[in-house]
Structure 1
Amino acid sequence: MVTNTEKITLGEVQETLLIPLYFRAKETKKENGCIKDVEAAELVDKIDYDFSKFDSGKGSELGVISRTVILDREVQNYINEHPDCVIVNLGCGLCTRNVRLDLKQAKWYNLDLPDVIEVRKKFLKPKENCYDIAKSCFDETWPNDVKGDKDILIVSEGVFMYFTEDQVKQLIQLIKKNYKKSTLYVEVMHSLMAKHTKQHDTVSNTNASFNWGISQARDMAKLDPGLKYITEWNFVDEMAVLNNGLLFKISAKVNFFKNFCDKIAVFELTQ
């Protein structure tokens, strides 16, 4: 563990992991914050980076907090129902959900590229039954590092929009090849939003670019015959609770507007 600020080196897409980290830290430091992510707050204080360039991203900030509230709740619900499950946090970044939740007897795997895992190991304390895998999610060997093949939950937030559709299909096929049945919680971006990286309120301040989106979350099931759409949790529903603004309340009620917001889509994937 480091005690002073320290520069880190990340790839272009990997740098975007600092956006949710920063907003989780900001929310944690509020007197009545919706989440408490002490590790995120500590990391922001230790990493030498100009986080202030994200301060104008109010939409992203609200989206990150909404996403965090949703996934903290729903992943905990899954663990409660499957206390000895296996969770793969795909493209984990500096997510600390495994610290915040009660994992019971679950095994938790944080999967990301080597530069990200190096930062995790440098700044984050290990936790029992939690493991890091320093590989690309397209590396066909990563399932070999995951112990267990029952009650598999794949969680991926802020990741799929940086892939091409062919890469999304490749990843789905890789998961299907290795697990007879798995559950996927995947953040999905609308295709129109994915075409406008330069207009995004935070990602536009990095060199990363969106590559993929889909008009309806349920349509992702068309990418592979083994995918079955179950449900989705739209960020704007949580935004309407967290923010009293009229725009969010209206958007949460009108499906046309609501659909343009990111959501966590739930799928069952079988061989």
Structure 2
Amino acid sequence: MPGEKVALSGSKETLLITLCAKAGESRLPDSLLGDHFAAEAMDRIDYDFSRLKIDRDLMIGVALRAHVIDGWTRDFIARHPEATVLHLGCGLDSRIFRIAPPAGIRWFDVDFPDVVALRQRLYPTCENYELVGSSVTEPGWIEAVPRDRPTLVVAEGLLPYLQAQDVPDLLERVIGHFPGGELAFDAYSRLGLSMIAWQPSVRSTGATLHWALDDPQELVRQFPQLELVQELMGYGPDGHDPRQVARMSLPAQVAVQFFGWIPALARAGRLLRFRF
């Protein structure tokens, strides 16, 4: 059976980086994420994934990020059994299938119409799950999402690729639409953004990054409704499980330790969780 042909470029093509990394990590004998959904989807796509230059270290790093956000999602659902989960720029991420939320949870995935169409060909449907085909920067799509429940808004691997002004506009729209909830996303300082831009996988897509966040309190000052709940930096004790770093190559382990010694490098990338 022929695979699904994809014709993506720029920031859209980066969704194949995360898919391939999660699929590859799921095949490792010591997999953290165990994302067999990603592996099965990747196997059905007709695309030369070797051009993305994804190595074991990147696989583990992407899986770590997803694992943390999955944990935050499960925690929110446990505290709000009748809630909405809104996944912005979902790409081909299989979070809804990894989480398998209970019947009381309503879930919306949002991405460009062609990405949504590809998802529909690769993944099954499930109850209380809707796909919204739209750029997240378009103002009208949010009206498809009811505003009657506490809402977790997830944006993984999305915000840095948006134009700088589009991010506060999107956050204002989301915060104003729902009665309350949480935001979970990754963010990078200006230094971190320049480092990602030179990453071989990102360079292979021609994607450009725009939005940087040097200090999470910048968002709190801009949006007083926000309260910073959790901030994870790097892979050390105050960030991700160091046992996962031990799975990486020796040069990567040394780099992680080195980054931890230099504040500007330690703050280059963050996982952030806000309450609103």
TM norm structure 1: 0.90
Distance 1:85 1:11 in 2: 34
User: Displacement of 1:55 after TM fit?
Assistant: 3.2
Distance 2:231 2:214 in 1: 13
The residue that corresponds to 1:240 in the other structure is 242
Distance 1:173 1:136 in 2: 16
Q: How does 1:14-29 map to 2 (within 5 A)?
A: 14-29=12-27
The residue that corresponds to 1:34 in the other structure is 32
Distance 1:223 1:48 in 2: 44
- Please list the CA deviations of residues 29-59 of structure 1 after superposition, one character each: whole Å capped at 9, or x if unmatched: 1222111111110111111111112335555
The residue that corresponds to 2:98 in the other structure is 100
Amino acid at match of 1:267: F
User: Displacement of 1:97 after TM fit?
Assistant: 0.8
User: Displacement of 1:76 after TM fit?
Assistant: 0.7
SS in 1 for 2:5: coil
Query: Is residue 2:73 matched to residue 1:75?
Result: yes
Distance 2:192 2:255 in 1: 18
Task: Indicate the larger mover: 172-181 or 62-71.
Answer: 172-181
Aligned CA RMSD, in angstroms, stands at: 2.1
Distance 2:258 2:144 in 1: 45
Check whether the contact 1:228–1:268 (CA below 8 A) recurs between aligned residues: yes
Query: Is residue 2:274 matched to residue 1:267?
Result: yes
User: Displacement of 1:175 after TM fit?
Assistant: 1.1
Distance 2:193 2:257 in 1: 24
Check whether the contact 1:63–1:235 (CA below 8 A) recurs between aligned residues: no
The residue that corresponds to 1:114 in the other structure is 113
Check whether the contact 1:60–1:202 (CA below 8 A) recurs between aligned residues: no
Distance 1:167 1:148 in 2: 22
Task: Indicate the larger mover: 244-253 or 7-16.
Answer: 244-253
Amino acid at match of 1:125: P
Check whether the contact 1:62–1:239 (CA below 8 A) recurs between aligned residues: no
Amino acid at match of 2:223: D
Distance 1:85 1:56 in 2: 36
Q: How does 1:1-271 map to 2 (within 5 A)?
A: 3-57=1-55, 59-104=57-102, 105-196=104-195, 198-236=197-235, 237-238=239-240, 240-244=242-246, 245-249=253-257, 251-252=259-260, 255-260=263-268, 262-269=269-276
- Please list the CA deviations of residues 164-184 of structure 1 after superposition, one character each: whole Å capped at 9, or x if unmatched: 221111101211331232311
- Please list the CA deviations of residues 198-238 of structure 1 after superposition, one character each: whole Å capped at 9, or x if unmatched: 41231011121011111123323233333332221234232
Check whether the contact 1:240–1:252 (CA below 8 A) recurs between aligned residues: no
Check whether the contact 1:7–1:47 (CA below 8 A) recurs between aligned residues: yes
SS in 2 for 1:60: helix
Amino acid at match of 2:244: L
Check whether the contact 1:197–1:209 (CA below 8 A) recurs between aligned residues: no
Check whether the contact 1:163–1:211 (CA below 8 A) recurs between aligned residues: yes
Amino acid at match of 2:233: N
Identity of aligned residues (%): 24
Check whether the contact 1:163–1:210 (CA below 8 A) recurs between aligned residues: yes
User: Displacement of 1:130 after TM fit?
Assistant: 1.2
Distance 1:62 1:73 in 2: 16
Count, aligned residues: 266
Check whether the contact 2:111–2:132 (CA below 8 A) recurs between aligned residues: yes
Distance 1:207 1:131 in 2: 30
SS in 1 for 2:160: helix
Distance 1:198 1:81 in 2: 37
Check whether the contact 2:150–2:178 (CA below 8 A) recurs between aligned residues: no
User: Displacement of 1:63 after TM fit?
Assistant: 2.1
